[in-house]
Amino acid sequence: MAILTVATQAFEGQRPGTSGLRKKVTVFQQPHYLENFVQSLFDVLPDAAGLTLVLGGDGRYHNRAAVGTILRMAAAKGYARVIVGCRGILSTPAASALIRHHAASGGIILSASHNPGGPDGDFGIKYNLGNGGPAPERITDAVYARSRDIDRYCISDQPSPPVDQPGRFQLEQMTVEVCDPVAVYADLMRQLFDFDAIRALFRSGFRLRFDAMNAVGGPYARALLEGELGAPAGTVVNGEPLEDFGGLHPDPNPVNAEDLIAHLFADDAPDMGAASDGDADRNMVLGRAFVVSPSDSLAVLAAHARLVPGYRQGLSGIARSMPTSGAADRVARALGIPCYETPTGWKYFGNLLDAGRVTLCGEESYGTGSVHVREKDGLWAVLFWLNLVAASGKTVETLVRELWREHGRCVYSRHDYEAIPSARAEQLMRELRAALPGLPGTTRCGLAITLADDFAYTDPVDGSVSTGQGLRVVLADGSRVVFRLSGTGTEGATLRVYLERHEADPARHDVPVQQALAPLIALAEDLARIRHHTGMDHASVCT
């Protein structure tokens, strides 16, 4: 039993994105690739003596092998204890809850979230701090810098202990504690929601269809929805985590969750539908023949939070990512609380949550969360909606339409142009960025532009500044077009175009979204010359 020092050479491109390092499985399977990145992380972290680390992932292909490697490297780093989910599996929100519950120094989460899995799919790794939230740029930048000149890594020569059943094992001087991945998370949910009211809702005949997309959220949903809250067996579908997600694209949106959409729009549709993604941190909520946008979901939860036991004291504030619609802003104004606009990436919410400035937060990419953990949380959002339906006696659709009647509808869509050659995508953004200063005061496609900028954010808690967070074009009527390159893909670049306009007239709330946004779609093409740069006539996905 010894700690080995293994010579290695640096790999290009180990820069973490908004949600850690994501690459193809085949990239991570290269000799030394994972080890280099983990050692780069350990090299920038402080001494681990006496500290606890949480470890787990979404169960996708290569998860188990990576867990074994990281355990042996954590022993070499000198951690006193590693808490790992049984079978190496932890949902991202559950990992955050475990970090906080055990006062761990941090956690390593193995996930590529909503990206496809399997041997030819994607894999990812990220580090979360002791508050349970994703590492900020100062840490991820340091990890990347270290990865560029790393020449060795340290690893125990002992075999990794088994992780298929809960138990305690010794690896060098480190204790490995294999835990039930659901227990701590379930206890946290009991503290937040009125489980008696939700049980009564299911006893009344209320029907839910929850699609776990063969991903990590399945065991959590079955334990809580069917096991504890009394939803009928079969409420949770695709509930067994599979290494390739059963061939599904585990991204809960109307395009990739087409089976769920079909069930909710059928003649015998259940009362509510929901889905979570690969690592169970995202959610989609539907009523009967009614799709709830993520932006509206955040706003509805905020507007009715006092109906839920864990939030009856009211909200200190709301935070949303910049591309997310302004529906939450309007609710915040009505409640007399602040609404913060941050860059995309859950890490930007952490300081606001830690400082008590916000209680709820959300992103347009199907992520919603609160102060209970420092990650977005898919099942939590579904339980919140169930609690609202139970407490209000109103349907999902009624709750959203009441939001629109009171605040107007923020008509919203995101157009994704996927797998663009990176050089072309970057050229599009360079040209558009250079044109921004000349846009205010002009009229394009018949629309008056009042503001055009590259969004920058100054953290109100620690004063840190993040620049280059998305190109915004704002019109005289408040409508917006936003352009960003996504940091979550593994092939080429994904251009995301966000479109939003406010509709106050209730008679126009049911105009089809793409029709209502047609002038903004034309403006986006005019400004960015998307067809010219990408060669694509239309977006890969519209949500």
DSSP-derived pairing of the beta strands 52-57 and 81-89: parallel
> Which amino acid is it at 417?
Y
Alpha-carbon distance of 106 to 89, in angstroms, equals 17
Distance of CA 325 to the CA centre of its chain: 16
Residue 33 confidence (pLDDT): 98
Assigned fold of 409-542 = TATA-Binding Protein (3.30.310)
User: Which CATH code fits 185-407?
Assistant: 3.40.120.10
Alpha-carbon distance of 142 to 16, in angstroms, equals 10
Residue 492 confidence (pLDDT): 80
User: Which residues of the chain are under the pLDDT cut of 50?
Assistant: none
Helix 378-392 / helix 92-101 crossing angle, nearest 10 deg: 90
Residue 490 confidence (pLDDT): 59
Alpha-carbon distance of 132 to 475, in angstroms, equals 38
Asked if domains 3-181 and 185-407 share a fold, the reply is yes
Phi, psi of 331 (to 5 degrees): -65, -40
Phi, psi of 262 (to 5 degrees): -60, -40
Domain ranges of the chain: 3-181, 185-407, 409-542
Alpha-carbon distance of 341 to 459, in angstroms, equals 10
Of residues 96, 113, 156, 295, which has the active-site annotation? 113
Residue 486 confidence (pLDDT): 82
Catalytic-residue membership of 113 = yes
Residue 18 confidence (pLDDT): 77
Place of tokens 């075999």: 159
Residue 491 confidence (pLDDT): 67
Alpha-carbon distance of 18 to 115, in angstroms, equals 14
CATH architecture of 3-181: 3-Layer(aba) Sandwich (3.40)
Cβ atoms of residues 377 and 193 within 8 Å = no
